[in-house]
């Protein structure tokens, strides 16, 4: 329904307009990852029912400010997300892969796989159809973080691999197929070929988003993989230390060199969150990710805390979002998912 009238200047028939004061207030409304006000056509109302219709995935949390607003809070707000398929680097491929987001990092251990997993689960929680491709062929960790590592790989009648449905996400990983010790000795061309096969020979359902967890680093392998996949946007994950930021800069440069759109930077382990007292401390230094993002003109999409409940949940194959949906640490993860989806959309729609 949304697609039919998004581009039009006026709202559909039967819709009543907001008052001038309300429209002005809507202009002040912001959501994470979307720069500036939202187009007026995304808001509609009928009587006391008001609706925010978005062409990308977002969580119901985005409605909170509208619900609490002195002028707009008397409406009963609803959120409607119809994820639009955005252009990618390989327009000839079928549409089923949805919007492909590659998650990369300049160096290992910064939490790239954790971010990929939590992003995928948060987007699925918001109702999107989400796939997760474990391209980290040298250390496929998704079966550990999402559980089900012992489940047998099913092959369908068309000889395609059935993705594992874990926590609402369709997952395909070599970790379900091969012993990770075997994968670790693969060299460039073999690794890239195996990955492409994994991508093409998985029986993906129709997806809104496909999250790809790339191997760490900025070498030929990462570049080949990124160039062979239909990429909509790339996200670089870093930690705030200078050594990690220097590697993140290499990642930014790599994507820019080959013309892959950079959706933004995610700073993981941004500050330490003490589970006992709630105290927060910037043990790896402050504002590192923000400064790097600003100096390279890349959006800073999220700053996730270093917190033991996040690690414990992932170690048990149960991301915090599904293990403990009410946990306060999930707020930052949900906000990250909205920010990634919103910025991906906004960049794709920017006039060139
Ligand atoms: N925000 C966080 N808070 C606490 N622990 C975290 C956080 N992010 C990641 N971790 C933990 O850090 C470890 C490394 O994370 P992860 O495997 O995601 O890193 P990576 O960058 O993908 O590494 P590699 O590319 O080498 O596989 C894991 O044990 C993970 O649970």
- Are 70 and 137 in contact by the 8 Å Cβ rule? The answer is no
Residue nearest to atom 23 of ligand 1 (CA): 109
Residue nearest to atom 1 of ligand 1 (CA): 306
Q: List the one residue out of 273, 274, 262 whose CA is nearest residue 238.
A: 262
Give me the pLDDT at residue 22, please.
95
Residue 251 or 341, more confident: 341
Give me the pLDDT at residue 185, please.
54
Residue nearest to atom 16 of ligand 1 (CA): 111
Domain ranges of the chain: 2-81, 95-349
Q: List the one residue out of 54, 133, 67 whose CA is nearest residue 343.
A: 54
Q: List the one residue out of 244, 296, 292, 301 whose CA is nearest residue 111.
A: 244
- Using DSSP, state whether 247 is helix, strand or coil: helix
Give me the pLDDT at residue 3, please.
39
Residue nearest to atom 8 of ligand 1 (CA): 111
Question: What's the rounded mean pLDDT across residues 102-108?
Answer: 91
Q: Is the CB of residue 320 below 6 angstroms from any atom belonging to ligand 1?
A: no
Q: Pick left, alpha or beta for residue 127 (phi over 0 → left; psi -120 to 50 → alpha; otherwise beta).
A: left
Ligand 1 centroid–CA 334 distance in Å is 18
DSSP bridge partners of 195: none
Asked if residue 7 has pLDDT above 80, the reply is: no
Q: How confident is the model at residue 51 (pLDDT cuts 50, 70, 90)?
A: very high
Q: How confident is the model at residue 85 (pLDDT cuts 50, 70, 90)?
A: very high
Q: Is the CB of residue 275 below 6 angstroms from any atom belonging to ligand 1?
A: no
According to the annotation, is 106 in a ligand binding site? yes
Q: How confident is the model at residue 2 (pLDDT cuts 50, 70, 90)?
A: very low
Give me the pLDDT at residue 11, please.
46
Ligand 1 centroid–CA 113 distance in Å is 6
Q: Is the CB of residue 38 below 6 angstroms from any atom belonging to ligand 1?
A: no
Most confidently modeled range among 169-183, 222-236, 254-268: 254-268
Q: Is the CB of residue 116 below 6 angstroms from any atom belonging to ligand 1?
A: no
Q: Is the CB of residue 135 below 6 angstroms from any atom belonging to ligand 1?
A: no
Q: Is the CB of residue 136 below 6 angstroms from any atom belonging to ligand 1?
A: yes
Task: Please give the CATH architecture assigned to the domain spanning 95-349.
Answer: 3-Layer(aba) Sandwich (3.40)
Question: The dihedral of CA 114, 117, 120, 125: what is its sign?
Answer: negative
Give me the pLDDT at residue 187, please.
61
In which element (H, E) is residue 76 found? strand 76-81
Residue nearest to atom 12 of ligand 1 (CA): 111
Query: Which range among 73-87, 269-283, 294-308 shows the weakest confidence by mean pLDDT?
Result: 269-283
pLDDT in tens, 134-187: 988 777 889 999 998 888 788 899 889 999 999 999 999 888 876 655 555 556
């Amino acid at each position: 329904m949304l697609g039919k009238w998004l581009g039009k200047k006026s709202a559909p028939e039967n819709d009543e307009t907001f008052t001038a004061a309300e429209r002005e207030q809507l202009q002040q409304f912001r959501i994470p990852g979307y720069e500036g006000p939202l187009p007026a056509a995304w808001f509609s109302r009928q009587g006391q029912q008001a609706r925010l219709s978005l062409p990308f995935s977002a969580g119901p949390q985005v409605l909170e400010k509208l619900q609490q607003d002195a002028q707009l809070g008397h409406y009963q707000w609803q959120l409607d997300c119809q994820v639009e398929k955005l252009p990618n680097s390989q327009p000839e491929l079928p549409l089923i892969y949805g919007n492909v987001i590659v998650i990369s990092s300049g160096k290992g251990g910064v939490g790239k796989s954790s971010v990929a997993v939590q992003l995928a689960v948060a987007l699925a929680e918001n109702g999107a159809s989400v796939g997760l491709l474990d391209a980290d062929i040298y250390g496929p960790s998704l079966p550990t973080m999402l559980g089900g590592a012992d489940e047998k790989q099913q092959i369908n009648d068309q000889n395609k691999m059935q993705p594992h449905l874990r926590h609402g996400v369709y997952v395909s990983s070599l970790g379900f197929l091969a012993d990770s010790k075997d994968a670790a000795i693969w060299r460039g061309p073999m690794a890239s070929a195996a990955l492409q096969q994994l991508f093409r020979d998985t029986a993906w359902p129709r997806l809104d988003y496909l999250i790809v967890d790339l191997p760490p680093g900025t070498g030929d392998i990462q570049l080949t993989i990124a160039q062979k996949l239909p990429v909509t946007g790339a996200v670089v994950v870093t930690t705030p230390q200078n050594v990690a930021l220097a590697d993140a800069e290499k990642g930014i440069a790599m994507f820019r060199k080959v013309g892959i759109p950079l959706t933004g930077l995610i700073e993981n382990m941004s500050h330490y969150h003490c589970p006992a007292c709630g105290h927060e401390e910037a043990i790896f230094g402050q504002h590192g990710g923000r400064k790097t993002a600003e100096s390279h003109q890349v959006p800073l999409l999220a700053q996730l805390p270093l917190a033991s409940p996040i690690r414990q949940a992932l170690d048990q194959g149960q991301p915090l979002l599904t293990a403990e949906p009410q946990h306060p640490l999930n707020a930052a993860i949900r906000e990250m998912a909205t920010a990634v989806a919103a910025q991906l959309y906004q960049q794709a729609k920017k006039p060139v």
